[in-house]
Structure 1
């Protein structure tokens, strides 16, 4: 039985979400909450191996549908092995990307179609969806410039896409934001780190205070 809270974090490349949620996890744990910080694709051994295949810059021949199916496969294993057990244990799961990434990237930006990508993932996730999603919104050009400046960040296959692809990704996310306003909360990621962090933490703490997990 699900007793914890499932919080996903979304955004285009260079939005800064990964750094933000690492700090957030530390702060929530400091307040005595049980927090599991994880990511997609990845989080567990099998999914991390799939991640390497998907994001390898050498895999330029990968078909769009193959890409979508690999993401769904990694997602299923991650859910079964890590996310669902953590939720059943009463933890707060902070997940860097989830289904919305596939809908925005493969569904909209790749042109497969959001409904088609959702149908693939419905088989993978069953009824497991985030309780709340933070969408870190930033102009694609700003995000890519941040990646260029951050020499310590991995450069993956998606980073190398043309600007038009990244613009379509953002467009896909904004469509999802409009469709699911109760679940997806927009964070202005174009501001300073501290300002973005404060926005995100306020949203999460308010949600937790209203839906505090059992453990």
Structure 2
């Protein structure tokens, strides 16, 4: 599903963000990416999304070698990868329904299908009845649920969650993790970057730890393992 083969990324300022990384993530896995600030987590994610190009090596996403991917094909790659961010990134002037529907409209989905699918995804994330409200009328946890719904509305095989609980209290964080676990159990491959020790330690999923651009650990059932 996702594979890094001898991948290195050196920025123009000389920083080696990834250093000969070899990782293979299978379809349907739930994987935590952990490590201290500056370890390479953000570059790892940006590489999968083709936001940065690697210096050496190959990156495969859903059987496509994206290191050779022409720029005009990048939007099609990103349709395969839903992304959830720490800061939600919802459109403030659109309702919950419109935020989610927009992700379908930009790829040309028929309105009849949109009207059918949006309520279904709202039910999945526990927001039935919230379609007509605006983001600023929602709690942080509810806004993150909308972000997840928007990321999943086009049924991508991969979901990247970049610090999705970073702005949430512990109880709300666990509500978000339950939703992600449900999505994973339905077959979606989930890659989650996090600093949340408690979540990683309790979930007991695969943990890939990065340090200074290197893979320091890759544990099939792992723990967070850092003091920060």
Alignment TM class, shorter chain as reference: 0.3 to 0.5
The TM-score, its normalising length taken from structure 1, stands at 0.41
The TM-score, its normalising length taken from structure 2, stands at 0.39
Whichever structure has more helix as a proportion of its residues is 1
Structure with more relative contact order (C-alpha pairs < 8 Å, separation 6 or more): 1
